[in-house]
Amino acid sequence: MIALLLALAAGPVVRTDDGPVRGEAAGRGAVFRGIPYAAPPVAGLRWRAPQRPRRWTQVRAAVATHAACPQIVYGDWNRAAAAASDEDCLFVDVRTPALAGKRPVLVWIHGGSNRAGAGGGTVESRITDRGIVLVSVQYRLGALGFLSHPALSREQGGHSGNYGLMDQQAALRWVARNIARFGGDPARVTIAGESAGAMDVGLHLLSPGSRGLFRQAIEESGTAGFGTAPRSLAGNEALGVRIARRAGLPATASAAQLRALPVAAVLSADAGVDVPELDDDSFVWLQAIVDGRVLRDTPARLLAQGRVNPAPLLIGTNAKELTLHGGLPAAAATVRREYGGNAERALRRYGLQPGGTPLRDPRLGDITDQLATDVTFRCPALVVADALAGRGGAVWHYQFDYAPPGGAVAHASELRYVFDPPQPGEPPLQAYWAQFVKTGQPNGAGLPVWPAYVPATRVSMAFHQDGPVVETDVRKDLCALRDMP
């Protein structure tokens, strides 16, 4: 409490359009944690579009850690966030190198399968030393953020779901209105995210409600489709009914009954629901939801038709991301499902035909690593890059394949090289990312030239143990057999 009072007395004050906030001084700049960008989505505001917060006039301390959005524990990686979660969680954090001036802005959308994780901690990064303002966004997760239900659709003009994406749009509107007061330039906003955060970035490229809210985009290890078939509004409503029934409500439950459910009951029902169309139920909120409002068509059709919010894009994957759910016994069935009419050719290429030797690669891993990464991450990212660059968009593609001695590349292992201070011999991701945020392309003085993506050659920057290397035809033989973004 004493530390909080001292920070309140000594830190810099910024007057947002909702009320004044006092942050913590950081050199010439400042860090602000837990600024409300929307009203708490509780009681009658649960499962509704986010609303502006109630204005305040007294200076609000924005120096302490804050609650994450509600989630259960899925492992050690989100244990702290789950323990400190609350429905009052719609906050942005801001770090700025100086309150004066107009600097480009990086808005980070955290990952976690759209059902876990938190935005807190991101602004401890000193990427801002490179002359950018960093904003981290929290948004509703899991069923609280993405559930559809017939009762909700009836009261909301025939649409429900995707509330987490609406939260992110509200946060971007907050940035547009307020970031100049923090030394940022609202006309130069880059949205970025990893895993589910990258999926959400990809959906903002396709959502009419996101148009004009950003200038550039970064997708790390995720796409709008995430390699899974999209879910229709009717399908998501049916899923919502199953979740509500698991929480103890009848199939005909009203919106009021849904909103009266304890948070714990919603989380438990969400975590335990079976999704027959998915091998791995943990992907339940990684299917794009075509609700007709936030997302008006499937990602594949929107990309094919060029119905995209124009923005330079930096996109890529790690050489190894996740292993295959079900392991080697599930490999052949996965290929048949994911590659459709090209399955026999893909089975031969993966070495999964009778008598074949399943692929193994020192960089890409065994067949379970390669297949999971191809169908969920690598091939969808290349499809997105092909679609946007093929229509004249500016795209830069990468594959991350660096690990410290004795380590291994895995999902999210590139993040430390984006946000942590670079060390000698490490890949210069932070320098490339900062250049992209500042200029709309990743190249800069002292950096190996990173060519723009060209569909014909699939030119890519590979971050290897011995430094960045330009490669072409990344996984072209296998990814050419699959077209789901």
pLDDT at 23: 98
In Å, the largest CA–CA distance within the chain is 73
> Total domain count for the chain?
2
What are the pLDDT digits (tens) for 255-303?
999 999 999 999 999 999 999 988 889 999 999 999 999 999 999 999 9
Same domain, 299 and 346: no
In a domain? residue 213:
no
In a domain? residue 411:
yes
DSSP string, 298-367: -HHHHHHTT------EEEEEESS--PPTT-GGGHHHHHHHHHGGGHHHHHHHHT-STT----EETTTEEH
Of 113, 125, 153, 195, catalytic: 195
In a domain? residue 467:
yes
pLDDT at 9: 55
Mean pLDDT of residues grouped by 10 in the chain (485 residues)?
50 97 94 98 98 98 96 94 97 97 98 97 96 98 98 98 98 98 98 98 98 98 93 98 98 97 98 91 95 97 96 98 94 93 93 89 92 96 96 97 92 97 94 98 97 95 95 87 76
Pairing between β-strand 91-96 and β-strand 29-36 as defined by DSSP bridges: antiparallel
pLDDT at 485: 64
Cα→Cα distances 155→23, 159, 256, 290, 385, Å: 40, 8, 11, 18, 38
Same domain, 29 and 157: yes
In a domain? residue 319:
yes
Same domain, 99 and 151: yes
Catalytic status, residue 338: no
In a domain? residue 215:
no
Same domain, 288 and 349: no
What's the rounded Cα separation, in Å, for the pair 411 and 396?
Answer: 20
What's the rounded Cα separation, in Å, for the pair 73 and 348?
Answer: 40
Same domain, 391 and 447: yes
Amino acid at 478: L
- Return the structure tokens found at 67: 């609650």
Same domain, 319 and 428: yes
Amino acid at 459: V
Of 87, 194, 219, 321, catalytic: 321
Same domain, 283 and 358: no
In a domain? residue 222:
no
Same domain, 144 and 55: yes
Statement: the pTM of the whole predicted model exceeds 0.85: yes
Give residue 68's domain range. 1-105+112-171+181-186+228-309
Same domain, 34 and 118: yes
Catalytic status, residue 471: no
Looking at residue 77, which CATH number applies to its domain?
A: 3.40.50.1820
Same domain, 282 and 404: no
Final residue of a domain: which of 278, 309, 340?
309
Catalytic status, residue 195: yes
In a domain? residue 362:
yes
In a domain? residue 126:
yes
Of 411, 413, 414, 460, catalytic: 411
What are the pLDDT digits (tens) for 14-69?
999 999 999 999 988 999 999 999 999 999 999 999 999 999 999 999 999 999 99
Final residue of a domain: which of 309, 341, 364?
309
* b (16+ CB within 10 A) / e for 266-299: bbebbbebebeebbbeebbbbbbbbbbbbbbbbb
Final residue of a domain: which of 262, 285, 309?
309
What's the rounded Cα separation, in Å, for the pair 32 and 46?
Answer: 26
**CA triple 175-219-308, angle to 5 deg:** 75
What's the rounded Cα separation, in Å, for the pair 216 and 395?
Answer: 10
Same domain, 95 and 16: yes
Same domain, 34 and 84: yes
